[in-house]
């Protein structure tokens, strides 16, 4: 006779706890939505998608036409558009614009922005937790709290929240892709890849690395998940708007020609007017070669090396010459978690103080540059990706290998 242990059923106290947690979550969410409505003018990244989706659904306006940027600039700048302001040209492919259609049902743009910003804030919290999980680091509880605070109050994620930029959702998707790869959940990897195929200046090297590794390992289920989700979204998009490809490509070209944002070459030209352009190309060339080598070496290596290369690809993307924006650097939360984890594990005797010191440096420097004009915007833009790439290479040996030296083993166990 087989005896099975009795299943553990939920008690009334468990139901009370769940109900209390749900009520508390709803109260906090409502408070955040109310607070988000008081945010200053901005949110153009989201409003471009909201206006494009709403214009198409309710006014039969082409979301890639010039009417949409004009409406967004009216909302963000109150019509007082100056040279150098963001043009807010919508260049998201229509099958992914479908994901914004639920928000277009809201007539109040500020309410829609506040609700979307709440989703971004929840995504940022999840991104911080998943980034720490990826490191396999048994982080002290105090540091988990400090890292979450850092993620919410560092300059770049703060800009992403003000602009209501989907880069925070993309960062969460990238972290989810890495976790799904490690857990061999290939269909989930493909599905997440399918909904992350935009904002190329943020994730193109990372997505290329994931696709390359999946191909070399023969992970056909990744393709199955990708094509299943993509086919569904594309089928709906072509049913709603048959000829969206050409207007979308035209909008993408217009966005590339727009004189807005930051790039490594423009930053070097501003900092070194005489030879900044040539220096920028040299830097990009060296970085492309280094990134190509690391991606090639990581496609058939163990997951830890692949994870390090993935962090490098995210950190290096803003330095590859693509025109990008300050808030896009919020995705670097993922490699920063690895940097802090390796510092903590390597320098045992001073690890807590050193980790907190580095965290405070990364947190404080951009804010100092923002409030004090002697540090230019270009330096603020270059600071985080340069710091992260240098730190990843500096810690590369310890990030890719377990401690082999007897002194290291003693230090870790003491």
Beta partners for residue 262, in sequence order: 324
Q: What stretches of 183-316 show up as alpha helix (H) in DSSP? A: 186-194, 200-216, 220-240, 245-257, 264-271, 276-298, 303-316
Q: Is residue 55 part of a domain?
A: yes
Residue 62 forms part of a structural domain: yes
User: Which residue from 84, 96, 24, 369 is spatially nearest to 240, judged by alpha carbons?
Assistant: 96
Write out pLDDT tens, residues 227-268.
999 999 999 999 999 999 999 999 989 888 877 888 898 888
Total domains, the chain: 1
Helices 303-316 and 377-394: crossing angle in degrees, nearest 10, is 160
Residue 2 covered by a domain: no
Task: Flag whether 407 is in a domain.
Answer: yes
pLDDT bin (cut points 50, 70, 90) of residue 143 is confident
Name the nearest CA neighbour of 56 among 92, 3, 85, 81.
92
Structure tokens at 297: 């070496």
Helices (H) and strands (E) in the chain, counts: 21, 0
pLDDT per position as a tens digit, 282-323: 999 999 999 999 988 887 788 889 999 999 999 999 999 888
Q: Residues 6 or more apart from 79 whose CB is under 8 A from it?
A: 73
Specify whether the CB–CB gap between 323 and 256 falls below 8 A.
yes
36 within domain boundaries: no
SS3 296: helix
* Interatomic CA distance for residues 284 and 3, integer angstroms: 66
In a domain, 287, yes or no: yes
Q: Give dist(CA 349, CA 352) in Å, integer.
A: 8
| Residue 133 located in a structural domain | yes
Indicate the pTM of the whole model: 0.91
Q: How many Å apart are CA 95 and CA 243, to the nearest integer?
A: 12
93 vs 270 pLDDT, higher one: 93
Which has the closest alpha carbon to 200: 281, 317, 85? 317
Domain around 264 = 44-82+91-413
Residue 20 lies in a domain: no
pLDDT band at 40 (very low <50, low <70, confident <90, very high): confident
């Amino acid at each position: 006779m087989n005896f099975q242990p009795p299943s553990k059923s939920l008690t009334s106290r468990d139901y009370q706890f769940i109900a209390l947690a749900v009520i508390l979550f709803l109260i906090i969410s409502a408070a955040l939505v109310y607070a988000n409505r008081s945010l200053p003018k901005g949110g153009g990244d989201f409003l471009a998608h909201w206006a494009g989706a709403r214009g198409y659904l309710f006014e039969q306006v082409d979301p890639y036409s010039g009417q949409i940027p004009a409406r967004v600039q009216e909302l963000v700048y109150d019509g007082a558009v100056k040279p150098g302001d963001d043009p807010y040209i919508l260049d998201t492919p229509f099958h992914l614009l479908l994901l914004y259609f639920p928000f277009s049902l809201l007539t109040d743009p500020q309410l829609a922005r506040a609700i979307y910003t709440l989703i971004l804030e929840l995504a940022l919290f999840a991104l911080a937790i998943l980034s720490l999980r990826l490191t396999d680091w048994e982080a002290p509880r105090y540091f988990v709290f400090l890292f979450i605070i850092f993620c919410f109050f560092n300059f770049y994620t703060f800009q992403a929240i003000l602009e209501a930029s989907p880069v925070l959702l993309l960062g969460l998707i990238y972290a989810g892709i890495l976790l799904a790869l490690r857990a061999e959940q290939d269909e989930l990897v493909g599905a997440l890849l399918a909904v992350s195929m935009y904002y190329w200046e943020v994730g193109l090297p990372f997505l290329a690395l994931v696709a390359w590794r999946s191909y070399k390992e023969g992970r056909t289920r990744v393709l199955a998940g990708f094509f299943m989700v993509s086919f569904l979204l594309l089928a709906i998009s072509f049913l709603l708007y048959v000829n969206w490809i050409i207007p979308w490509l035209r909008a993408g070209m217009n966005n590339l020609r727009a004189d807005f944002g930051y790039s490594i070459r423009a930053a070097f030209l501003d900092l070194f007017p005489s030879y900044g352009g040539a220096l920028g190309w040299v830097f990009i060339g060296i970085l492309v070669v280094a990134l190509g080598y690391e991606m090639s070496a990581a496609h058939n290596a163990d997951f830890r090396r692949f994870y390090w290369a993935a962090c490098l690809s995210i950190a290096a993307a803003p330095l590859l010459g693509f025109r990008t924006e300050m808030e896009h650097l919020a995705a670097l939360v993922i490699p920063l978690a690895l940097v802090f984890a390796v510092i903590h594990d390597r320098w045992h005797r001073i690890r807590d103080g050193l980790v907190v010191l580095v965290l405070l440096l990364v947190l404080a420097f951009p804010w100092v540059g923002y409030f004090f004009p002697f540090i230019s915007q270009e330096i603020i833009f270059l600071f985080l990706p340069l710091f992260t790439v240098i730190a990843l290479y500096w810690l590369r040996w310890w990030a890719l290998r377990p401690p082999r030296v007897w002194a290291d083993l003693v230090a870790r166990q003491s």
